[in-house]
Amino acid sequence: MCVDEFCIDVLDKGKNVKSVFHLLVASCVFLLSSLTYAESDLAIEITQGIDEPTPVAVVPFSWNGSFALKEDIAKIVSADLGRTGLFKMMNRENMLSFPTQQDQVYYRDWRVSKTEFLVIGRQIPAEGKQIKVEFELYDVLKEKRLLAERVSGTQDNMRDIAHYISDMIYQKLTGIRGAFSTRIVYVTAQQFGEGKVNYRLKMADSDGARPITIRQQSEPLMSPAWARDGSKLAYVSFESGKPAIYIQYLATGKREKIQSFRGLNGAPAWSPDGNKLAIVLSKDGNPEVYILDLRSRSLARITHHYGIDTEPSWSPDGQSLIFTSDRGGQPQIYRIHLPTRQLERVTYEGNYNSRGRLTQDGRFLAMVHRGMDNVFHIAVQDLKTGRLDVLTDTYLDESPTIAPNGSIILYATQKGVKGVLGGVTLDGSVRFILPAVSGDVREPAWSPYLQ
């Protein structure tokens, strides 16, 4: 039952390469989604523009099947690319024509409307409710086809096909691997009745679509963290009345409570190799960062200070941890090099910097930052130059999480009286909100690449 694959044929002659993608994690999500398939909770809403994005047009894909399609692939692809801030997506009503084949593409028309890249596609019914989707990417100025591929799927994974197409186009145009075929998890809290709250751990596509509940309980749930292989999460749950760290396997839903200590048990962060968890325990009197080796179950204490040390996060090479400490009087971000235990303070600007997360190249540090205005925003510090940029202008921003390709930061913020998820590109050029239909949304965590 847990089988869901789609094939990609390269249409270009002479390169008859066939490859099959097994979207392992994705297929397990489908399994779950059949149980609790919900209407899309979150719909993207762009709230901020950019200076010079590259103009791209994604023409509606043709469809000659006998049944109506559930999803509009061209629309999803267009939205995916638009959110990165790198592209200016052309509205359909401005298109002079809707080509779906190469011989219908008139470059001059697209040049007139200042389009630099063009995406066209066809959806073709195939045996057994399968749908073949063929798409092509054109460079309008060079009058050249850059990509032509065929993807097969069904009605149920049209969104996966769309994100796959977005990934291919993004990679072709930027040279950077796309991160649209990834997922996010987040926590929602929904009040029902006097003092009763339903806490849910949800998983959705990277664009917020297709949310499913993977855990619900009546006690708080916090700090979800992905293992680097995308197969499991660690999080903090109060289901026993006290905070404890659990590991949940996504494929089976099976859970495991890791050894719990007196006091705080929190802020789990997986090491890049997946064998260790950095955690925070206060068993020795005050919050300290420890590393738990998941194979030997041995525990190593990393920080030694009477202040608060918390929110550890690994550097991509696994050689150091960044963490929040108030040892200087206010929360600031520090880095400890694990082999030498050498400690360095990383942030200086602002009176509250916490919950740092590094990009995969280790160069940029996203964090919660409070500056002169005493309002909490998301900021990014370039660790090479030391420059800090405040990226958001919303209110009570927290929990930044970075797409695995470093393109977008998702974070939790407030809209009206509700907690919602916001997104911002790393350069702050595009901001958007994923409004929630119900409940209070918090603590997004972006998955690694899934494959």
Query: Which is nearer to other proteins, 172 or 305 (by Cβ)?
Result: 305
For position 368 contacting other proteins by CB under 8 A, the verdict is yes
Query: Which is nearer to other proteins, 238 or 249 (by Cβ)?
Result: 238
Q: How far is it, in rounded angstroms, from Cα 264 to Cα 375?
A: 27
For position 242 contacting other proteins by CB under 8 A, the verdict is yes
Residues 6+ apart with CB under 8 A from 54: 86, 87, 88, 116, 117, 173
Identify which range of 96-104, 157-165, 322-330, 430-438 contacts other proteins by CB under 8 A: 322-330
Identify which range of 52-60, 133-141, 379-387, 392-400 contacts other proteins by CB under 8 A: 392-400
Contact in structure between 79 and 207 (CB atoms under 8 Å):
yes
Q: How far is it, in rounded angstroms, from Cα 85 to Cα 430?
A: 5
Identify which range of 33-41, 113-121, 209-217, 258-266 contacts other proteins by CB under 8 A: 258-266
For position 310 contacting other proteins by CB under 8 A, the verdict is yes
Selected binder of other proteins within 55, 60, 125, 263 (CB under 8 A): 263
For position 152 contacting other proteins by CB under 8 A, the verdict is no
Helix (H, G, I), strand (E, B) or coil at 121: strand
Here the tokens at position 26 are 């994705």
Q: How far is it, in rounded angstroms, from Cα 300 to Cα 313?
A: 16
For position 311 contacting other proteins by CB under 8 A, the verdict is yes
Give how many residues touch other proteins by CB under 8 A.
Answer: 37
Here the tokens at position 345 are 């303070």
For position 238 contacting other proteins by CB under 8 A, the verdict is yes
Selected binder of other proteins within 42, 77, 222, 436 (CB under 8 A): 222
Q: How far is it, in rounded angstroms, from Cα 128 to Cα 197?
A: 44
**CB 105 → other proteins: shortest distance, Å?**
50
54 CB neighbour count, 10 Å cutoff:
14
Contact in structure between 198 and 178 (CB atoms under 8 Å):
no
Here the tokens at position 23 are 């979207």
390 CB neighbour count, 10 Å cutoff:
18
Contact positions with other proteins (CB under 8 A) in 409-448: 414, 417, 442-443
Contact residues: other proteins, CB under 8 A: 191, 220, 222-223, 238, 241-243, 263-264, 266-267, 280, 282, 286-287, 308, 310-311, 324, 326, 330-331, 352, 354-355, 368, 370, 376, 395-396, 398-399, 414, 417, 442-443
